[in-house]
Chains A and B, each alone.
Chain A
Amino acid sequence: MNRAHLRQTMHTEATPAEADVPDAELVRQAQTGDTAAFDQLVGRYRSRIFGMIYNMVHNEQDAWDLAQDSFVKAWKSIARFRGQSSFYTWIYRIVMNVTIDSLRKKQVRGATEFDDAIQLKEIDPASRTVPHADALPHENLENQEIRGRIDAAIAELSPDHRAVILMKEIEGMQYHEIAESLGCSIGTVMSRLFYARKKLQGLLRDVYENV
């Protein structure tokens, strides 16, 4: 999803008058305790953030909870936001911290990296990733299998590598934006991308060669 898509999403989720208010102005109002302004910011980014978290954790309920945690954390610390980066980058940093932290805790608890909850049968019929209703049954099955393979391959990556590859390939973010969001150097981002791609290429070679 690129920035044009984001703007499109903003227009679909907010009234035209609301969409005209720039993020910076809403942030300023939210910093004075205006919850309505913060509501608008949530409305602009909730879907995108939820989708990103879902791709990281592969579980709808976890993604929901982590998105909630991220927004609550953002509300609590919005007074400290100095506007040195965009609100989007700033909240992405919070989202990534919350999500990566959660994934690490799960790993420490000894959970398998691939969450069994993301079995193919659990894919939400409303999901955009699910084929259209007019797709043939064998196509549906094939797509579900592909999605399952991809989820499993991504689950093999460390949380940091997962975040980098998703932000780059799915979100279309620049290196410096990813670096800002993850609080690391551009070199680190590029290095993580290198290893994440190598690993995914090894795991998914037969998939992308045959699709």
Chain B
Amino acid sequence: MRVKNYKVCCGMFMKTFEEKWTAWLDDELTGDERAAFEATLEDRAAAEAEKNQARKLGALLKEQLQPRAMGNEEFFHHQLRERIARESAAEAPAPNDTPVLRETWWSIRRLLWLGASSLAVFAVCTFFVLRQASVQDQSQYLTQILNSRVDPNVSPDATVSSFQTKEDRVTVLWVDGLKSLPSEYAAK
């Protein structure tokens, strides 16, 4: 049944002369296929002679090349078992591998921790630096105090202070210690 099915399958796929010839030689063609192929042969007698020769060749090979007996089969088996065991052992992870892996893993972890700590310190420093900078930036008063004394002959205890706000472009003068302030009086 298998051969019969195969013959159908074989006929479907045969394309070249070589394939058809081989199938014809091995009697693998169905009746219709064989008839169709034989009709294409120019010299039927020569083809039959060659088929006969191919069969003689096959018989000769079969007779002369019968599989050589394996000597020492048990030793072959033993050697194979040993080899499989050896190669399986070589492929399995060695016990010493584990500490090496741990060591490697520990180093990686330590590196990760070191990196994370460095990042944290950097972040904290950056935060404070930026905060300080922003305090300065956020301060609306860049105060410049001008301690200058007014004319000591007139008011020996008088002082004048100046407060400036750059953004608002405002300057406040604070005068203290004057008993009276003459209209022409001005801070120096």
Contacts and interface: CB of A to CB of B under 8 A. Distances in A.
B6 A201 contact: no
Interface string B17-36: 01101110110100000000
Interface stretch (A16-24, A48-56, A90-98, A101-109): A48-56
Contacts of A186: 9-10, 13
Given A39-B81, A71-B80, A193-B22, A208 B65 contact: no
B41 to A, nearest CB: 15
**Contact-residue bracket for chain B:** 35 or more
A165 B15 CA distance: 20
Contacts of B142: none
A190 B22 contact: yes
Interface residues of A, number: 58
A148 B109 CA distance: 69
B70 to A, nearest CB: 4
A117 interface: no
Question: What is the interface of chain B mostly: helix, strand, loop, or mixed?
Answer: helix
A154 to B, nearest CB: 8
A5 to B, nearest CB: 9
B71 interface: yes
B83 A47 contact: no
Contacts of B50: 201
A42 B10 contact: no
Contacts, number: 144
A11 interface: no
Contacts of B53: 201, 205, 208
B69 A126 contact: yes
A128 B69 CA distance: 6
B3 A190 contact: no
B93 to A, nearest CB: 16
A150 B61 contact: yes
A72 B83 CA distance: 8
Contacts of B26: 168
B166 interface: no
B97 interface: no
5 contacts: A51-B66, A124-B69, A147-B64, A191-B18, A201-B57
Interface of A: 1, 13, 35, 38-39, 42-43, 46-48, 50-52, 54-55, 60, 63-64, 67-68, 71-72, 75-76, 124, 126-129, 143, 146-147, 150, 165-166, 168-170, 174-176, 185-187, 190-191, 193-195, 197, 200-201, 204-205, 207-209, 211
